[in-house]
Chain A
């Protein structure tokens, strides 16, 4: 049996044992050994260097991520692209999809002096009124030097109005979807896109959404 003097937990000092085994000490004074042990045990535990933070210090990493994110967000230029569908160009009349005699067979020719619009059998006259050739159906209109090198630009709005008029007035044109677009060799692509935009649809709805490019012989 251990010496009670060396055991600080030992209920030494002549306590009175009861029937339940609980002793009632005659005095509540701590011994020097007990006080020393309490001091030692109650001292705050020193944390090891690796467990001091409890986790990896990722603040520098976070700084980098935040900076990169900022620059990425700031450098994004919001630009939206659109796909314009078209079929392969056909050379001459032979390759163009079946021409029905009773259909409109609208053709828009972009020439240097304006748009020429042709129907089934004849050219549309200037101002989109009746039949007549020689002059462009929709001539170019005055514009600022910023818009055009020679002070004249294509009248896309008038072209669209004419396409709507033909769609509504020409018999059997209501169901027609196709328009043939051709241009002088020097016409820039932007003008082609403008014509495609104009003849595809307007505020009232679809006009001629199927654009086919052709080449004049």
Chain B
């Protein structure tokens, strides 16, 4: 008959011998997964809020510039593409942009690179007279655009009042995206109308040239 000490020693020895070595069934990748998930979340967040994902469609190709700097995303966003006008992403259905290219297939595509083209002499250079405040083609004020920016301007003014900027200058700003083939007449009419809506400062968005 073995003693208690002998019995326990024997038990420990056999337990040790019969113990199955800890097998690594799979790699522990929890830490890596955490990291990747965080990266993915931040990546998606930055992509959604970045101006880098601005639409570059057939009817909107931004001009290129050699200037460098950070894009300012402050202000009311106005998009003037080849056939539409959008205010903060909402299309002004009642407004049509005068077409420089009578046949849309003639218009240079965004991926083709810029090529100097003047609108034909008989093509409308500005918005149609029916959209103008005074009903004449020579007028600069575009009524549907003025109506569309009224509410965003009021909201921007209220925000500026409630939360004044540190450096002063609480005027309402606009970030304008013109297509690179937008004629100067259309540009001035849009800017004049925005000026009438108390928007005093404009940021034109352009692509940085490589």
Using a CB–CB cutoff of 8 Å, the interface residues on chain A facing chain B are: 8-9, 11-13, 15, 23-25, 27-31, 34, 37-39, 41-44, 53, 55, 57-59, 61-62, 65-66, 68-69, 72-73, 76-89, 91, 110, 112, 143, 146-150, 153-154, 182-193, 196-197, 200, 213, 215
Chain A residues near B162 (CB-CB < 8 A): none
Q: Check A185 against B52 for contact (C-beta < 8 Å).
A: no
* B69 with A82: CB separation less than 8 A: yes
* Among B3, B114, B181, B206, contact of A84 (Cβ-Cβ < 8 Å): B206
Q: Mark B27-48, 1 if CB is under 8 A from A, else 0.
A: 0111011001101100110010
> With contacts A87-B201, A185-B126 known, what are 10 further pairs, Cβ within 8 A?
A11-B1, A39-B14, A79-B52, A81-B205, A81-B208, A88-B200, A89-B192, A153-B116, A190-B63, A190-B114
Q: Number of residues in B with C-beta < 8 Å to the partner?
A: 80
**In this complex, what residue of A is CB-closest to B190?**
A89
How far, in Å, is A91 (CB) from chain B's closest CB? 7
Interface on chain B toward A: helix, strand, loop, or mixed SS? mixed
Query: Measured between alpha carbons, how far is A197 from B208 in the docked complex, in Å?
Result: 11
Contact B184 A186 (CB under 8 A): yes
Minimal Cβ-Cβ distance residue in A for B26: A59
In the complex the two chains form, what is the Cα distance from A77 to B208 in whole Å?
Answer: 13
Q: Which of these, A78, A189, A196, contacts B184 with CB under 8 Å?
A: A189
**Are the C-beta atoms of B185 and A188 separated by less than 8 Å?**
no
Other-chain residue from B25, B62, B116, B140 in contact with A147 (beta carbon distance below 8 A): B116
Residues of B within 8 A of A68 (CB): 40
Whether B203 pairs with A84 at a CB distance below 8 angstroms is yes
List, sorted by A's number, 29 A–B pairs whose CB atoms are closer than 8 Å.
A8-B7, A9-B4, A24-B3, A30-B10, A42-B14, A57-B26, A62-B33, A69-B40, A80-B207, A81-B51, A82-B68, A82-B69, A82-B207, A83-B70, A87-B201, A87-B202, A91-B192, A110-B184, A148-B116, A150-B116, A154-B116, A185-B183, A185-B184, A185-B185, A186-B121, A189-B180, A189-B184, A190-B64, A193-B65
Contacts of A37 in B (CB 8 A): 11
- Residue from A38, A80, A146 within 8 A of B7 (CB atoms): A38
